[in-house]
Amino acid sequence: MVYLDYAANTPVNEEVLSAFCQVARQYQGNANSRHEEGWAAKAEMERLTVAVAALLGVKPSEIIFTSGATEANNTAIKGIAKAMQGVGKHILSTPLEHSSVTGCLQALQKQGYEVEYLSLQADGKINLHDLETKLRNDTVLVAVCAVDSELGTIQPLAEIAAVLQNYPNCHLHVDATQAVGKVAFPLQGIDTMSFAPHKFYGLCGSGILFKRKNVELVPLLEGGASTTSYRSGTPALALAAGTETALRLAVESRHNWWEIVVQRHTLLRQQLSHYPKVHINSPIHGSPYILNLSVAGVRGQNFQSLLNEFGICVSVKSACSSDGQPSQAVLALTHDYWNALSSWRLSLSHLTTEAQVQEFLVAFAKCYKKLTTQ
């Protein structure tokens, strides 16, 4: 089997799993309990929070542990919208967002919020002039992904934050799920930021929401003591230990991982460009971890299915998207319905070997010949 779907999930690092198990065995108390075992668990939770904050370069009080990026996105987007509804109900976003973001926006629209989507440039980055044009005094939120999960476009977050400085009531939320541990990006000017460690060899069921000090949120969950008023529930100490370990390893290894992935990405681009019916949708200067392509006249699902028969694992759209519909991200970028319907995604890791890339290319050639000559 050749696994090329690392943007959906990554294998758990042994050191992460070891940290999870060690903490789960060592601390039996609830961090909210007022006795010796509870105090010990609370102290460890505080230590882990400080460590995570240091790795991100933020304050410990700005870290909120969640069950994943989906919960983090929901908490930030809905929380800011509800907290700011007295000021305005206008929200801006992009057509590249993950379903956990677009789902929030659709839910808010039903509650009377106005949502507008920003236009894209040819490289997939948002049009900053369009952002400036659409911003209003009642705009309370701009939701933008740092790196989109289908195309790998890297958004100019510093420039976006600079534009928003003239709108003090407007907050910037960044879904950094495909960026943290892989792509460097600034936190300056960002009010809230979400990510999940299972994208960089951590555990599923855990996530982080960074919430800058003085940003107010209406919490999603009510009742139940926790480490923060913004997210109720018993602190998941062992998952926090796994998250801290995964983040530390990713931060330490990011440059080395990047160099390996760039090599694999470059080889794939070069080889796939030899096929006349292949169109590379991912921008040349996007994240090397993601390569989106279309084969003219062949539905993406059909190509994925045949590759799977050869033991090659790839994705059509993100893992959380609905089947049978064209990629909205590819459609927004290329304005070509059939190209979007034909698109699918390879996503890489430093674990991806050159031999695996070559095995994929052999399988691709066979699938291409079969599906384009029918």
User: Which residues are annotated as catalytic?
Assistant: 320
Q: How many whole angstroms separate alpha carbon 146 and alpha carbon 188?
A: 13
Take residue 184 and report the two structure tokens written for it: 């460097």
Question: How far is the C-alpha of 42 from the C-alpha of 48, rounded, in Å?
Answer: 10
Strand order in the sheet with 278-280: 278-280, 290-295, 343-347
Cα gap 96→279, rounded to integer Å: 19
Beta strands in the chain (DSSP E): 2-3, 63-66, 90-93, 114-117, 139-145, 171-175, 192-195, 207-211, 278-280, 290-295, 312-313, 343-347
CA angle 147, 151, 157 (to 5 degrees): 25
Among 3, 7, 4, 12, which residue's Cα sits nearest to residue 203?
12
For residue 290, which of 326, 317, 312 has the smallest C-alpha distance? Answer: 317
Grouping H, G, I as helix, E, B as strand and the rest as coil, residue 59 is coil
